Amino acid sequence: MEGGGVDHLAEERQKSRFDVDEMKIVWAGSRHAFEVSDRVARLVASDPAFRKDNRNLLSRKELFKNTLRKAAYAWKRIMELRLTEEEAAKLRFFIDEPAYTDLHWGMFVPAIKGQGTEEQQQKWLPLAYKMQIIGCYAQTELGHGSNVQGLETTATFDPQTDEFIINSPTLTSSKWWPGGLGKVSTHAVAYARLIVNGQDHGVHGFIVQLRSLDDHMPLPGITVGDIGMKFGSGAYNTMDNGVLRFDHVRIPRNQMLMRVLQVTREGKVVQSDVPRQLIYGTMVYVRQTIVSDASSALSRAVCIATRYSAVRRQFGSQKGGPETQVIDYKTQQSRLFPLLASAYAFRFVGEWLKWLYTDVTQRLQANDFSTLPEAHACTAGLKSLTTSATADAIEECRKLCGGHGYLTSSGLPELFAVYIPACTYEGDNTVLLLQVARFLMKTVSQLGSGKQPVGSTAYMSRAEHLMQCRCSAQRVEDWLKPDVVLEAFEARALRMSVACAQNLSKFSNPEEGFAELSADLAEAAIAHCQLIVVSKFVEKLQQDIPGQGVKQQLQTLCFVYSLHLLHKHQGDFLSTGCITPKQASLANEQLRSLYSQVRPNAIALVDAFNYTDHYLGSVLGRYDGNVYPTLYEDAWKDPLNDSVVPDGYHEYLRPVLKQQLRNARL
C-alpha cells in the first residue's frame, strides 16, 4: 500500500501468480468495503495526531491522557467529515488503540438496544449516540467473572419510592475489570441480582449514573477507580479498566433494562415471552465481532513475519552468492504458511458468523428465538478457537522473526500484549468450549428422536454413515478433494462427541459426569469448531470469485489450513478410525507440496491485507522491506541514547569501576 523508495521486496512481488488487487477485495469483503477501508487507512496514516510509535515510552498517566486526546480528536473528525457508522468503525480500527469508546459503542449501546424496552431505547440511545453520556458494561466482579449467576451486587426494589437500591454487600461484589469504568464513564449498564419482596430473581442489567455530568465527580454512594497496570508497556494500558462499589445507590425503577423481565409500580415481577438468555445477548454480539478481529490481528502478525522472512538471509551461500532467504527453509514455511492460511480461514468464518448474527437478530425482533442456542454455541466456540489460535500465532510470528522479533520496533510484543486478553475477556476460552460441548451433547442425545440437527450440527443427521465410513483417500491428490477432507473432519467431530456422550451415560449424575469428562468434552468442542471453519472456507470457494488466479490461491490456502489441522491433530483422526496412518502420511505429503505452491505467492498474499506501514507499526514488516537501515536508525532514537554517557554513571558506575581499579592496585 505504501509508495516511493526502493522496494526490496519487488522481486518477490513479481513472482506472484494472481491478481493482488482482486484479492484485496476478497479480503475486504466487497469492493465498497475495500474502498472505505483503504480511504480511512490513508486518512489515519497521514494524520500526525494519530501517531503511535511513542506509546511504550509514555508513563501510564501520559499514555492515558494521550488516548483521551486521540479519542476526542477522532470524534471531532467523525463529526467534521460526517463519517458513516462503517467509516467510523474503520477509523477506530486503524487508530489501533484500545479506548473507552470501544466499550461505549461496543457494549453499552448494544446492551441498551438488546435488553431495553422501546421506551428505554428512545430515552437513552440518543444521549449515547451523541456521546452526551459515556457508558461501560459493568458485569464482572472481583469474586466472579465466568459464573455470571454467581454475581453478588444487589438491586433491591423499594416500593415506597419506586426505586432500586443498588448495593455492593461484600468486597468480592466490587465490580472489577469493566473497560472505560475507571476514569471515564458517566454511566454503566451494571449487572445485579434483582430482589423484589425479598425474592431473588437472578441477574439483570440496570442503567446507573456514576459521575456528575458537570464536574465528573463520582455521585454519592459511588466509589470508583482504575484497577492498575496490565501486561506489557503501552498495550492495553490505554484502557481504564475499573473498580466500582455501590453503597445503597438509588435509581428510578425505569432504569432496569426491562425487555426480558418487568417490575411494575406495585412490585409485581412479570416475565415477558422473551427467553432469559437474552440478558446474555450483548456477549453474543461482541463474541461475533471478536472472531473478525482475530483475523485482523493474525493477518497483521503474519504480514510482518512473512515480509521479514523474505528479507532475512541466513546460511547457504553458494560460491559467494547471497545466503538463503529464511522463508525458503521448509521448517519456516511449515510454521508460517498455516498461520497465513488461518488468517484467511478466520476472515471467511468471521463473515459467515456476522451473517448468522444478523439473521438471529432479525428473528429475535420477530419473536423467533429458535436459533439462539445455535448462535450462542457458534459465537462462543469460534471466539474461543480463533482467539486461542491467534494469540499462539502472534508469539510464533515473533519467534519466526528471530532476535529482532523481540524488539518493540518489530510491533509484535505490543500486538501480543494487546491481543492475549481476548482469550479471557468476553468469556474464558475453556469455559466457552464447555458451553459448546453442552450444546453438542444435547444434539447427540436427540439423534434418532426424529428431531433433525440443523445449522452447524446438520452433519450429525448423517450419523449412521459418519460413524462407520472409511476415508477414501488413496493417493496424495485425493487430499485435494473437498469432499474427502470435509468427511474426515465431520467423522472426527461426530465420533469424538459420540464417544463423550457414551462415557457420560456411564455416570448416574450427569453433572458429575460432565465435570469428570470436561477435558475430553473441550476437545470434542474444538473438533466441532474446526469443522465449522473448514466447511465455511470450502463454502467460500463455491462462490464466484473473479480475478486471475485468485480462487486458485484460496483453494491452496483452504487445503493448507485443513491439512495442517489434520496433521496437528493426527491423534484424534487416527484414534477415532477416521483415517489410517498411511492416509495421514499422504496428507502430510500433500501439505508439503502445498507449501511450495504458497511460497512464490506469499508476499502478495500478505500485501492483499492492504495494511499501511502506520497500521502495521513494524520495522520488520515495512512494505518496502528496507529493514536494516531503519532498525539501525531507530535504535539511536531510544531515549537511552540521548546522552553518550548514561545518567547514573557518576553515582553508580564510576564508583564500582574505581573500586575495582583500587582493588587491582592493592
Ligand X SMILES: CCCCCCCCCCCCCCCCCCCCCC(=O)SCCNC(=O)CCNC(=O)[C@H](O)C(C)(C)COP(=O)(O)OP(=O)(O)OC[C@H]1O[C@@H](n2cnc3c(N)ncnc32)[C@H](O)[C@@H]1OP(=O)(O)O
Q: Which does 33 bind (CB under 5 to 8 A by kind): ligand X, ligand FAD, none?
A: none
Q: Which of 97, 396, 426, 490 is catalytic?
A: 426
Query: What is the rounded CA–CA span in Å between residue 101 and residue 97?
Result: 10
Strand, coil or helix: 132: coil
Nearer to ligand FAD, 288 or 590 (CB): 288
Of these, 405, 421, 617, 625, which contacts ligand FAD (CB under 6 A)? 421
| DSSP code at position 476 | G
CB of 379 to ligand FAD, least distance (A): 14
Picking from 174, 528, 595, the residue whose alpha carbon sits closest to that of residue 374 is 528
CB of 424 to ligand FAD, least distance (A): 5
Distance of CA 503 to the CA centre of its chain: 33
Stretch that binds ligand X, among 275-283, 318-326, 462-470, 621-629 (CB under 6 A): 275-283
The overall longest dimension of the chain from CA atoms, in Å, is 95
Does residue number 348 form part of the binding site for ligand X (CB under 6 A)? no
Tell me the per-residue interface mask from 146 to 165 with ligand X, x by CB under 6 A, - otherwise.
x-xx----------------
Picking from 248, 247, 264, the residue whose alpha carbon sits closest to that of residue 256 is 264
Query: What is the rounded CA–CA span in Å between residue 220 and residue 98?
Result: 29
CB of 323 to ligand X, least distance (A): 43
Strand, coil or helix: 151: coil
| DSSP code at position 219 | P
Of these, 272, 292, 361, 430, which contacts ligand FAD (CB under 6 A)? 430
CB of 251 to ligand X, least distance (A): 21
CB of 23 to ligand X, least distance (A): 26
Q: 512 - beta bridge partners?
A: none
Segment (H or E) for 534: helix 518-541
Between CA 145 and CA 576, with CA 527 as vertex, the angle to 5 degrees is 135
Quickly list DSSP for 585-600.
Answer: HHHHHHHHHHHHHHGG
Q: Which does 236 bind (CB under 5 to 8 A by kind): ligand X, ligand FAD, none?
A: ligand FAD
Look up residue 369 and give its amino acid. Answer: F
List the 242-246 sheet strands across, edge first: 175-176, 242-246, 222-226
For 120, 184, 276, 571, the CA distances from 482, given in Å and listed in that order, are: 50, 51, 40, 21
Stretch that binds ligand X, among 397-405, 431-439, 486-494, 634-642 (CB under 6 A): 431-439
Query: What is the rounded CA–CA span in Å between residue 537 and residue 555?
Result: 9
Q: Are 605 and 588 in contact (CB under 8 A)?
A: no
Tell me the per-residue interface mask from 53 to 72 with ligand X, x by CB under 6 A, - otherwise.
------------------x-
Quickly list DSSP for 294-311.
Answer: HHHHHHHHHHHHHHHHHH
Of these, 390, 435, 456, 590, which contacts ligand X (CB under 6 A)? 435
Stretch that binds ligand X, among 193-201, 263-271, 281-289, 523-531 (CB under 6 A): 281-289
Query: What is the rounded CA–CA span in Å between residue 398 and residue 24?
Result: 25
Picking from 177, 75, 170, 88, the residue whose alpha carbon sits closest to that of residue 132 is 75
Picking from 454, 465, 470, the residue whose alpha carbon sits closest to that of residue 494 is 465
179 is in an annotated binding site: yes
Nearer to ligand X, 58 or 431 (CB): 431
CB of 201 to ligand X, least distance (A): 14
Q: Which does 609 bind (CB under 5 to 8 A by kind): ligand FAD, ligand X, none?
A: none
Strand, coil or helix: 391: helix
Tell me the per-residue interface mask from 127 to 166 with ligand FAD, x by CB under 6 A, - otherwise.
----------xxxx---xxx--------------------
Does residue number 514 form part of the binding site for ligand FAD (CB under 6 A)? no
Nearer to ligand FAD, 177 or 537 (CB): 177
Q: Are 527 and 493 in contact (CB under 8 A)?
A: yes
Q: Which does 241 bind (CB under 5 to 8 A by kind): ligand FAD, ligand X, none?
A: ligand FAD
The residue length of the chain stands at 666
Of these, 16, 241, 296, 387, which contacts ligand FAD (CB under 6 A)? 241
Between CA 96 and CA 240, with CA 91 as vertex, the angle to 5 degrees is 45
Q: Are 177 and 157 in contact (CB under 8 A)?
A: no
Q: Which does 553 bind (CB under 5 to 8 A by kind): ligand FAD, ligand X, none?
A: none
The question of whether 512 is a catalytic residue gets the answer: no
- 434-463 positions binding ligand FAD, by CB under 6 A: 434
Of these, 14, 170, 264, 277, which contacts ligand X (CB under 6 A)? 277
Does residue number 428 form part of the binding site for ligand FAD (CB under 6 A)? yes
Nearer to ligand FAD, 176 or 337 (CB): 176
CB of 98 to ligand FAD, least distance (A): 8
Look up residue 138 and give its amino acid. Answer: A
Quickly list DSSP for 537-568.
Answer: HHHHHTS---STTHHHHHHHHHHHHHHHHHHH
Does residue number 369 form part of the binding site for ligand X (CB under 6 A)? no
Does residue number 177 form part of the binding site for ligand FAD (CB under 6 A)? yes
Q: Which residues are annotated as a binding site?
A: 140, 179
Give the interface with ligand X as residue ranges (CB under 6 A). 71, 74-75, 88-89, 92, 101-102, 105-106, 137, 139-140, 145-146, 148-149, 179, 277, 280, 283-284, 286, 289, 372-373, 376, 425-427, 431, 435, 438
Q: Which residues are annotated as part of the binding site for FAD?
A: 140, 179
Binding residues for ligand FAD (CB under 6 A): 103, 137-140, 144-146, 177-179, 236, 241, 421, 424-428, 430-431, 434, 518
Active site residues: 426
